[in-house]
Amino acid sequence: MATVLAFDVYGTLIDTHGVVTELEERLGKGGRAELAAEFSRRWRDKQLEYSFRRGLMGAYVPFDQCTRESLDFTDRALQTQLSDVDKDHLMAVYARLPAFPEAAAALQRLAATGMRCVAFSNGTHDAVSGLLGQAGLLARFESVISVDEVKRFKPDPAVYAHLRHRLDVAPGDTWLISSNPFDVIGARHAGLHAAWVRRSLDAPFDPWGVEPDLTVTDLDALAERLG
């Protein structure tokens, strides 16, 4: 049976900090533009926190609602006073974030080896398909698998089981590829293999005693190791 490579999307294939330039424009001049990087980081952190909290509460909503609610929170926390028009614009930008520059070629190399490549995300099927399509990556994948199909969020074990059942693949033949340590640990806990894409050398891994099977700096390095 062919090995499955299940790629996380946000932060692994798609650069979630690609919104910084738009934030700089929306935050304006007068000493506020320097908030853009901090705003982007806190928006992303809160987005994940909201998905975790909703998962624990059993109060699932689509991931884009978590994204909008975390945008509203970050605006309040940093007192940036974004208008509704600004927020709508930033949400639209989030739907067309750029891919990391090496992603397309690395995916092509991996697919050429006969491994099955799928996108596996907290985002809804339509949102992820649209995002990957505009980034030029959608055709690289056999399918897009969303947690929305089971109304849970990563790292709930149910979503990794759903991934395997959808593809009819054994845990030992399934690799999760992610830049998010929580996702890597979740996959390993569920019996899958996992590769951590450590895009920043400053990024720490959670000290839980659960390690990735493989750590790489980017998707080119992944293709070198697995290809």
Are the C-beta atoms of 10 and 1 separated by less than 8 Å?
no
Is 156 among the residues known to form the active site? no
Distance CA 98, CA 15 (A): 6
Spot the catalytic one: 8, 86, 148, 156: 8
Assign 219 to helix, strand or coil: helix
Compute CA distances 217 → 1, 8, 96, 115, whole Å: 28, 15, 24, 20
Rg, Å, the chain Cα set: 17
DSSP category for residue 213: S
Place of tokens 């074990």: 157
The residues that bridge with 143 in the sheet, in sequence order, are 118
Residues carrying an active site annotation: 8
